[in-house]
Amino acid sequence: MHLYEALRRPLITEKSALLQAQGKYVFEVASEATKPQVTQAVEKAFKVKVTAVNMITVPGKTRRVGQRQLQRPSWRKAIVTLKPGDKIEIFENV
């Protein structure tokens, strides 16, 4: 897996906005991505120093379409903690 394939998109929610005050940023990542890959991808893409990465697998929800029940796919997110003083500018004006 290439380094830039590890990060899919930033997650911008109310909860992630509260985490930004603590220096933590939330990304949707590839399901095969590992913590070291996410660390390298964030450091290379945004030129910051990562101190910790927490990975969470979000289970897919069951949806109902007519009489059938369908399972939405599971996905992973990463909460990336940066060194104090570092910021990612893409999140600032959201």
| Nearest to 40, CA basis, from 76, 3, 69, 72 | 3
Yes or no: say if 51 and 37 are a contact pair by the CB < 8 Å rule. Answer: no
- Residues 6+ away with beta carbon under 8 Å from 18: none
The single-letter code of the amino acid at 27 is F
The CATH superfamily label for domain 3-85 reads RRM (RNA recognition motif) domain (3.30.70.330)
CA angle 33, 79, 86 (to 5 degrees): 110
Q: pTM for the complete prediction? A: 0.87
So where are the chain's domains? 3-85
Q: Return per-residue pLDDT of the chain as tens, 94 residues.
A: 788 899 999 999 999 989 998 999 999 999 999 999 999 999 999 999 999 999 999 999 999 999 999 999 999 999 999 999 998 887 666 5
